[in-house]
A and B are shown apart, each in its own frame.
Chain A
Amino acid sequence: MWNSLAFRLWRAAYLRAVSSAFATVPLYRETWALRGRTDPVLVPGKTGTGGGALPADEVHRRLVDTAPLAGGSTEPDPARGLAGLLGHATERRSHRLVVVVDSDVARPPTGLPRGSRGCVLHPDAATAAGDEPVLREIVDTLRRGERVLAVGEAKNLDMLSAELPAELPPPDRVPHHRIDRPGGGPFGLLHDPLLGYLGVLRECGRLHVDRRHVYVRETPGGLAFTVLDRTSPRLVDVLIGGGVPGEVHACPKHASPVIDT
């Protein structure tokens, strides 16, 4: 594996997330105590099915049980993790306006670099008449000669570009990739409606995991993702895209974890 100290820290963060979820979150307590899990095994003799990973639709159905006993939000944030990945997702370091064009994202991304603002545009609104405030904001920003970054499904980004006046420079764009529908480069973000942004396609052509905030492990059910820094809803070992088989290894160029599906 990549740099062993970094791997050990990454792994330690994951083990803390598992331990905490087992001790305080009903969904994981029920699943792992009564059925079991692997890597790590928490109840001797119980290894469960699929290594203890849970399909995303089951987690979504039981979101109320993903809040810890102490209480917390049960609302997922599909824009989670975007800000931390933008640095690797585009060549330009910052944009005045970051627009997420996705029907699953309801709230703008937070934690953007100073001077950047985030907003959300529903794909249906992108094709509506020109009185949509977000569209007006995009046009005004482009007219001022400032940069706009559009993030979303490729077809939604195409729709947005078609709606903008032809005389304006096009916004930069970073398409979403789904784990079960990987796209080509050179840029892209691995996105899931439940877990948010999980990784980024870098110039080496590999899908890099957001290792500061996300852990991924191989299970019999497919690649299982864990959001490391979100306490509620707690999302641990979630099989996204219906469970896609894959491998986790080190990028030879960047020495950080990448996934191959």
Chain B
Amino acid sequence: MNSPVLEIKHGAVAYDRPVLRDVNLTVRSGEVVAVLGANGSGKSTMIRAGLGLVPLAEGQVELFGVPLRRFRDWRRIGYVPQRLGAGGGVPATVGEVVSSGRLARRGFPGLLRAGDRQAVAKALAAVDLTDRVHDPVAALSGGQQQRTLIARALAGEPDLLVLDEPTAGVDAKSQEAFAQALRDFVRHGGTVLLVAHELGPLQPVITRAVVVHDGVIAHDGAVPHPAGHHAEPGHDHVHPHAPQDPPSIWGRQ
């Protein structure tokens, strides 16, 4: 069996109330794991805890077999957050944002080397944004911004790609471009851990699904098939922002 790339053992996270309870997750090299679950189920918290962005109240995290505390090889990880950071009032071009994906690979920041430039160009091409490199990210659509973030992660040439809801609110063209970029990444031996609300065009790429429900892992294995309205083609997945989501992951019975 392939070596573990990301491992959470008995992980627990609590803010004011417990968000995750005794979670065990192992992602092995070459896998494409989708973490599914309703809003507020704790799925985003789980992968953020796996990267050390959220402190664990209990349990441990290992990245590439090294405990998180001692892990230094961050160049092996590409992280794609849910959205572009607050990023303030100062404009930044797509090229500048994607170039910061090289930081984990460069020591002291100097000028970009030829290898850096090449990786940035390749990453932009992979998400089909080459012609927008000099545009300010604020002028892009939501889907294009998301692709910019994916390009930033790809530019670092990571072994593991961790994506937090990469397809949320993303137009169909961007979803397709993203699925293609992901297929290429996997074909070259990459491992993927992604959080998703719905899989859409990603479905065929996923090798395993983990369903988080109410802070615990409710399912770990084959990709569950959408039920009810979710199965209809062209289903528009909209959740009312009610305080309580329906209990079942795939909607009402």
A and B assemble together: no
Residues of chain A touching chain B, judged by Cβ–Cβ distance below 8 Å, are: none
